[in-house]
Chain A
Amino acid sequence: MNLALQDPFAVAKEYPDTLANTLHYGHSVVIQFNQKGDYLASGLSDGSILVYDLTSNGGVVAHLHENSHIRPVTSISWSRCGRYILSSSQDWSCKLWDLSKVNRDEVDVELDDMSAVIRTVKFDGPIWSASMHPEDPFNEEDMASTAAVSEDEPRKKKKAEKHVTLVTTFTPNDGSYIFTGTSKGWLNVHSTQTLQLVHSVKMANANIKNLVISPNGRKLAINSSDRIVRQISLPDLINVANPDEWDFEIDHKYQDVVNRLQWNSVAFNHNAEFLVASSYGQSSHDLYIWETSLGSLIKILEGSNEELIDVKWNYSRCTIGSTGLDSGMIYLWSVQFPQKWSALAPDFVEIEENIEYDEKEDEFDIIDEVALNKKRLEEEDMVVDVITRENVDARGFDTMQQSFVIPINYEKTVLG
């Protein structure tokens, strides 16, 4: 509700422009915002996971370290309700965490049960990414994972010969398909139900490093090691049931023609109108934002002093987060709201330039107070609805969404 009282021009901004905050506890290698956008999970190089609360200026609300990964975390995925986190790691395992089990008292639980891990799946190689099914986090078969180095086939994935599957993602909303990218530049689409390969198309001649589908399911970004991010308009996967009719058409190719930089990571905003990418190399410290309909570069986010690796877009808060390679810090860019000084004094207004003031005819008339009060009271006959809430905020995001609240141990602090 604060947005309704802020400067409407600042609220209407669709992408962040200012480095607002940095978070530095441990060496973060991967980050992910939850669906509602109030928590940020950070995977550390020591294998543990930190959860920050973005509403309290980035206070740490949970540190998942009991029975955690023993090698760097490679990906984090939140369940839609915000209660579960799926993490993958270079230690050849994926773990599913239940956040309702964090911050408990030792006396309340058995010591060997302090961990919030409710499920661990071991693979035969390091895991590059794991994503949670959008609707059904408990169906273990639906936790798609990719083992990149391993020659062994991951348990629910058919693998094209000699190709090594590098990245996977679910289609948003219903999660009925799994998109995978291979080391030879092929994009494969599997049905989530049958795990059969339903469509396969060659998109590039090099490794596919990232596959990102926009939250509205309209666009796909493929980041490959040939230094190009390809933006693809997705066919209607729900209504066009025959995979053979799907057409993956490339809208735009984004590349840095001057410096020939590779892109580390890419992310869409909520309606796929903007795409952000972090760039590879010690000399580049910035994030690039493109407008996706015309493919033009519209903003370079500066402020970090190091190469940025992971990049994620927080939709409802209009914030972009990214991790630094050297320091492991998390950088958060967002929209800054100016303080309106006239808000402190209701009868003052801020003006751009001097204006000639015309006194109103009745401005300093002395009105009988009793009569005035009576008039005021008589005007109070409107019907007020004190119960019905607004469904959307000033940016158009759903405000009725219920999201899990991480419990707090009031007797001690998270980072002891």
Chain B
Amino acid sequence: MGLEGLANGFSDATAKNGVEKAKFPDLYRVKYTLKNHHNSSINSIKISPDGSKFATCSSDTTIRVYDLETGILITKLDGHTKGISDLEFSPINSNILASCSDDLTIRLWSVSKKKCVKILRKHTYHITTIKFTTKGNMLISGSADETITIWDITSGRVLRTLAAHADPVSSLCLTPDNTIIISASYDGLMRLFDLETGHCLKTLSFNSTSHGTATASTNDVLNFPISNVETSPNGKYILSSSLDGLIRLWDYMDNKVIKTYTGVDGKPISEKFNCGAHFITKTSDAMIVSGTESCGILIWDVQSKQVVFQLHQSDEPVFEVDIYNEGRLLVSCSRDGIINVLELNEKYIKQKRAIGTSREETPLTPA
């Protein structure tokens, strides 16, 4: 496999010399590329839980659903009156997807019926992000009105509104057991909420200086806005992207940053846009993939923090990446409307350990 040499810890040489080279240029290969489908920037891209299709949403107010294998357009969903920031498939039903828009609505769509089946209204400003719980019965939305709303989809009611941020909420994620919501905001804070009680359990912030307070509004403390959060597959760590151009891995039990990832040659990853990031665990060493502002898609080795792969097609920002089957497939969308579908090179796939140590997915959820 030749991956052993990576786990050597932080290498000072790469940071200083700035001649970083992707270790595995053949890690992913482009399966296909779609261009000129949306008339405007594509803000998010998501793969359905059954892996049959993916959907994109755009500032041109439309959602498009494609066949993942072939890239053929399945359907186009119209209804939003303003740009769409985020979308998400129901984890228990690949025919249902939810989207959130600047028109202050969240819509649930049936892909096969090509229609909107439910509209959720509550937010008073642009809705930036949505997440389903794994059982698919609750939806959590974050908005530029600085609140987070928890919806019970079966009844369409608001279960709870969490108003604890002082700037737009940019990103949300859940721990794998669905008990903690992690929210990120432009106020520079990440807050951990108990999903059921709505209590704030913890707040994380990164201070550039060693003194001052994180939450006090003093001028000498600068918390960079957090643009994206994601939990590690085991839920013990949080990956945060902030607009100081860095991605950080947090041990939230310990309130500590344990890894910091930088762009190619120390360049910022993103200082203006919210670029999604995910963990890839299909490879023998865990990796992190993120979109960037001007360097295409970057993939880091979690341990060594080195860039191991780059797909740099243009200098346009890549807004979102999504993975399927732990990273076997990777999709990305960018501001110039380009969709890329990438496939992991088979030689990097982690070998199955002895039978019994790896848990196979049991089909408890009906298809």
Contact = CB atoms under 8 A, between A and B. Distances in A.
A277 interface: no
A100 B155 contact: no
A275 B137 CA distance: 33
A350 interface: no
A404 B15 CA distance: 48
Contacts of B237: 384, 386
Given A346-B255, A363-B211, A408-B153, A386 B281 contact: yes
Contact of A6 (B12, B201, B236, B286): B201
A59 B365 CA distance: 19
Contacts of B191: 344
Contact of B194 (A60, A337, A377, A389): A337
Contacts of A17: none
Interface residues of B, number: 79
A408 B235 contact: no
A386 B279 contact: yes
Interface string A167-185: 0000000000000000000
A351 interface: no
Contacts of A162: none
Which of A3, A59, A400 counts the most chain B CB atoms within 10 A? A59
B344 interface: no
B313 interface: no
Contacts of A59: 137, 152, 154-155, 157, 159
A346 B364 contact: no
B159 A390 contact: no
Contact of B303 (A339, A383, A407, A408): A383
Contacts of B203: 343-346
A346 B201 CA distance: 10
Given A372-B210, A411-B118, A414-B154, A384 B234 contact: no
A1 B302 contact: no
A185 B81 CA distance: 71
Interface in A389-412: 389-390, 393, 399-400, 402-408, 410-411
B236 A369 contact: no
B117 interface: yes
Interface residues of A, number: 63
Contacts of B279: 386
Q: What does DSSP make chain B's interface, helix, strand, loop or mixed?
A: loop
A346 B194 contact: no
B152 A386 contact: no
Nearest to A53: B137
A337 B197 contact: yes
A208 B263 CA distance: 72
A413 B202 CA distance: 34
Contacts of A387: 232-234, 281, 286
B364 A402 contact: yes
B187 to A, nearest CB: 12
Contacts of B156: 413
B305 interface: yes
Contacts of A82: 364
Contacts of A410: 90, 93, 96, 108, 110, 117-118, 153
A180 B129 CA distance: 55
Contacts of A283: none
A36 B28 CA distance: 39
A107 B259 CA distance: 52
Interface of A: 1-6, 38, 53, 55-57, 59-61, 81-83, 100, 337, 339-340, 343-348, 363-367, 369, 372, 376-378, 380-390, 393, 399-400, 402-408, 410-411, 413-415
3 tightest A-B contacts by CB?
A386-B232, A2-B179, A381-B9
13 contacts: A2-B175, A6-B201, A57-B160, A343-B203, A346-B203, A386-B281, A387-B234, A390-B234, A403-B364, A405-B92, A408-B93, A411-B110, A415-B155
Interface of B: 7, 9-10, 12, 15, 90, 92-93, 96, 108, 110, 117-118, 133-138, 152-157, 159-160, 164, 175-180, 191-192, 194-197, 199-205, 208-211, 213-215, 232-237, 249, 251, 253, 255, 257-260, 279, 281, 286, 302-303, 305, 359, 362, 364-366
